[in-house]
Structure 1
Amino acid sequence: MGAGRRGLITAAVTVVCAVTVLAVPGTAFASPGPIPSPSASASATAASDPDLEAVREKLDGLYRAAAVATDEYNAAEEKARKQSAEIVRLAKKTAEGREELAGLRDRAGVAARAQYRAGGMPPEAYLMLGDDPQDFLDGTRRVRQGQHATKGLLGELTRAQEDLEQYAKDAAAQWRRLEAGRKAKAAAQKKIEKRIAAAEKLESELAKEERERLAELERRAAQRAQTAWLDSGVLDEVTGKASERGRKAVEYALAQTGKPYRWGAEGPKAYDCSGLTSQAWAAAGRDVPRTSQQQWKQLERVDVQDMRPGDLVLYFDDASHVGMYIGDGSIVHAPRPGRAVTVTGAGSMPILGVVRPDA
């Protein structure tokens, strides 16, 4: 990609992101794309304000910690859904097993009564009292068949009882896992709320002018990261076009711009980062893991140079944030608490890698 095209991309992302940033104060976790270089006087102001830069870094750390805890919460929530579904399945199997066992017991009772009625007379007596030896032999065969059938019936009874016992053990294990998951989810929720409350308190203590300068610091940090990413030539060979499903996923995600971030949310009124990407791909007909970390672990990875619109871009070493690539060096994502779904430069945060849901 030449310098001219990069300039066009820079301008396009700047227009979209500048509007969002002016509307809502943010952090580098939701950085906008490149903007025109700040004036020398603004640079001097920022350089003379190291305390505010420290605040920016602290806010980034708090919101990133909240993002990690949100992934923990979402993972626990997803496990709880699966475990609840498994408990329902086991309850259904248990009910069916009890019905089967009752039927088998009825059949066993009939067989036992029949054998009891015939059991008082030995086979030799039937031979002596019968007029036709062939009838005796036929009867003997029927007796043997009945004995085999009874033996098989007893085997079915044993198997049905063992199945019921196993269902009960499995259900108990699932309940234990579900309870452990609830505790994990509650612990993650406390972490999230604690980090967000600390960040909000920190921001609330700033004067209006300081908040404006903080927003400027954030924009500049994003600008530096995105510009460096573009200047590296990483997009020079990116020519991939969206698949049909990828196009639908991008359309869905872009249609959510302006909706607020809320941790644990999967729409339609609010989203967290992986809630947006998972729902966008669900709308395109492809189920993907719920959390950003599982998306990174389970989906097929592609080189940045090979990415195409619809691919998911994972950020930070722990894959605690995710956005959807939409082309021209940009992503759409749900940034963090206090912000809305927006478009930003794909290189405005440290990229871990790219995955493709419809590989």
Structure 2
Amino acid sequence: MIPKAYDAVLLASFGGPEGQDDVIPFLRNVTGGRGIPDERLEEVAVHYRTNGGVSPINAQNRALKAALEAEFAARGITVPIYWGNRNWHPFVNDTLEQIAADGHRTVLLMGTGAYSGYSACRQYREDLGMGLRATGLEGVVEVDKLRQFFDTPAFVQPFIQELPGSLASVREQLAAAGKPEGKIKIVFVTHSIPLSDANAAGPEAIRSTLDENLYTAQHRAVAEHILANVPEAAGLEHSLVYQSRSGSPHTPWLEPDINDALEEDAAAGVAGVVVVPIGFISDHMEVLWDLDTEAKDTCAELGLAFARVPTPGTHRAFVSGLVDLVEERLAGPDGKPLREGRLSETALGPWFDVCRPGCCEKLAMDGTLRPTIGAVDSEVGVPQP
């Protein structure tokens, strides 16, 4: 990828409600075109209603934007950062119009999904393309997407630095319960997606070389790298599980679900678990509900000690590492990248700056390409009729 003189950065995310009156309109946006009645949406709305109707994700994105701006200023990067959401205010189309009104024409998009897959990558590019067309800015504003960052120091270092503290917490809980020698397991968790989406993640040239789908392989590579760099985890059993599946029960999704896996762990003699949410960059609603509420409650019922590692959020290493990735793509005074080299910590990276044709398509259950409307994303899963 030849560096460009980008004149704006767009932080793009899923969005979330910020009050009780926002919840159902937000969920209608998420499920647009699927004809799901409001009474079905209320089954998910309870997650937000118990939090005052507020998703943490918007506040987290404001904090991330502020942290990125501070890091830009510290490095002398004068490119402004904008923020837009796909499903709630500020909507990405409104942000595109503001970017254009402010005179910017070459934009670098920073999505908040770390891994390959339709919802984590391609859908961001499609939404921005449709946004440019809808706002009349197609051919006026150019938007390129920052590469996926699952394999970078930015993403893995916060987990490496925080895992020892969570392990210590579980050991303290077990000691207090009179089980100082109790078996501890590290449970890596990510968002489940339809098996058809998992099988379509990434370009065929890479998919064909793997023994499993790329989405799972990327998460497994991240988990293995974290374990290899945390001495306190040496010798501990670990697993990769999934959360937040939704949709028709007849549609295959990635398994096992974390709660089912926890029951099996308890039956196998595990005394405590450390949950590592490697599928997520911030403690948004699904982390707080599916892990800190449901999975934690499951552990309490099973008598398992429980600790959850924080997501990267605004961790210093995450913010600094994201700016490293931006610098990879900026053109310096002599037309060369401001930062040499492409950072990566796993054998599956560094990922592409420009996605390959046919990468991460949205497929039907029979394997055929289908319209890319209403995909699952990593902030909320909605039950289908």
- TM-score bucket of the superposed structures, by smaller chain: under 0.3
TM-score (norm 1): 0.23
- Indicate the structure (1 or 2) with the bigger Cα radius of gyration: 1
Q: Whose strand fraction is larger, Structure 1's or Structure 2's?
A: 2
Q: Whose helix fraction is larger, Structure 1's or Structure 2's?
A: 1
